[in-house]
Amino acid sequence: MSKCLYFVAGEASGDAHGAALMTALRQLGPELILTGRGGPRMRAVGGESLIDWSHGSAVLGLWEVIRNYGYFRQQFAATLQEIRDQRADAVVLIDYPGFNLRLARALRAKLPRVKIIYYISPQVWAWNRRRIPQMAKYLDLMLCIFPFEAELYNKSGLRTIFVGHPMMETLNARRVSESRDFQLVGLFPGSRSREVRKILPIMLEAAQRLAAGRPGTHFEVAAVSEMLAEEAVRMLSDSALPANLLRITIGEASATMQRAQAGMVASGTATLEAAFFRMPFVLVYKVAGPTYLAGKILIRIKHLGMPNVLADREIVPEFIQGKAQPAAIAKEMLHLLDNRSRREQMIADFDAVITKLGGGGASETAARAILEAIG
């Protein structure tokens, strides 16, 4: 009888990683039934049995979750019922810790026979390591994408495998042969609407200051969707940056990172992509005030950007919340654009960080581990 795997992913990055994992599972076990909740990429692999709930699930921050509490409570109950009705043999939880950790705990209590596998570890090592022993009680397998995570989880008794970072298998295919444009600066304001609204205006003001002090500099905004590109157009019209100095692209972030001399990047996976493509950058991040205050209380790490976390020191300047000031960002960008030794040192640090993420094949490694776990 075919095994049924139920997937849960709630954001664009999880949808991409989930689709790659499902594709690998299809190749290794074509008889598998793949269902669950994710985004358009996962639905393209899983078909109609997979619900695309990406529009409602991708909220950002504590305050936004509180405002949408009723929606998430409803979706939580519906997800549990779907897993029960479909008699899933295993549930594969992909990142999205606010929802998925609660779901794992509920599953262990209500459906103890179901295997619970977590792919792309929630970053509890950043905000609450005491949760790790609790997670060991209701998870059967953890699949990590950062090497230091496996050591932490294995100490708790939770079976953990480092599979490598899934971006490594896709970014190599996105390499372009174009040379860098000494005058081009890339702007990467994030993949979610709330992020873009908070961060892009700061980047645009910094760009305006940079253009005023460095004639000839021009810019590209990397939008992940047409909707966010339209938002970027509106924000540009409200900024002092001349429209002829900025181009907005859709779905071309990797190419922009390889063309740009330097960039401004929102916190997230894009920071590792920039490191992979050896684009010097500064990290810019801002969220709603209540979310930031809650995070300041909870987060117990020195750095926000993953290149800095992996290096255990600040190799990328971080401009977060109140420090995200356009004048300071523009000043640092000038250094990255025109100081050769500064650029070369950052690129060398990037190379050291990227070697820690494995050589590729994370999705296949994860798929094989899942098949072994479900027997």
**Alpha helix positions (H), the chain:** 12-28, 40-46, 54-57, 62-67, 69-85, 97-110, 124-127, 131-138, 147-155, 167-171, 193-213, 226-237, 253-259, 269-276, 289-298, 306-311, 326-338, 340-354, 362-374
Asked whether the beta carbons of 273 and 254 are under 8 A apart, the reply is yes
DSSP secondary structure letter of residue 239: S
What's the pTM value of the predicted model, to 2 decimals? 0.79
Spatial separation of the C-alpha atoms in residues 350 and 328, rounded to whole Å: 23
> Could you write out the DSSP letters of every residue in 75-89?
HHHHHHHHHHHTT-S
Q: How far apart are the first and last CA of the chain?
A: 12
- pLDDT in tens for each of the 375 residues of the chain? 689 999 999 888 889 899 999 999 999 999 999 999 999 999 999 999 999 988 755 544 444 555 666 777 899 999 999 999 999 999 999 998 889 999 999 999 999 999 999 999 887 665 566 778 888 899 999 999 998 888 888 888 899 999 999 888 888 889 988 899 999 999 999 988 888 999 999 999 999 999 999 999 999 999 988 999 999 999 999 999 999 999 999 999 999 999 999 999 998 889 999 999 999 999 999 865 545 444 444 455 678 899 999 998 999 999 998 899 999 999 999 999 999 999 999 999 999 999 999 878 999 999 999 999 998
Provide the pLDDT for residue 30.
Answer: 93
Asked whether the beta carbons of 124 and 144 are under 8 A apart, the reply is no
Cβ–Cβ contacts within 10 Å for residue 310, how many? 22
Q: Which domains does the chain have, with CATH numbers?
A: 4-164+360-374 (3.40.50.2000), 173-357 (3.40.50.2000)
Provide the pLDDT for residue 301.
Answer: 61
Give the model confidence (pLDDT) of 272-321 as tens digits: 999 999 999 999 998 655 454 444 444 556 788 999 999 989 999 999 98
Spatial separation of the C-alpha atoms in residues 31 and 273, rounded to whole Å: 34
HEC per residue, 199-215: HHHHHHHHHHHHHHHCC
Spatial separation of the C-alpha atoms in residues 118 and 136, rounded to whole Å: 11
Provide the pLDDT for residue 60.
Answer: 47
Asked whether the beta carbons of 374 and 29 are under 8 A apart, the reply is no
188: helix, strand or coil: strand
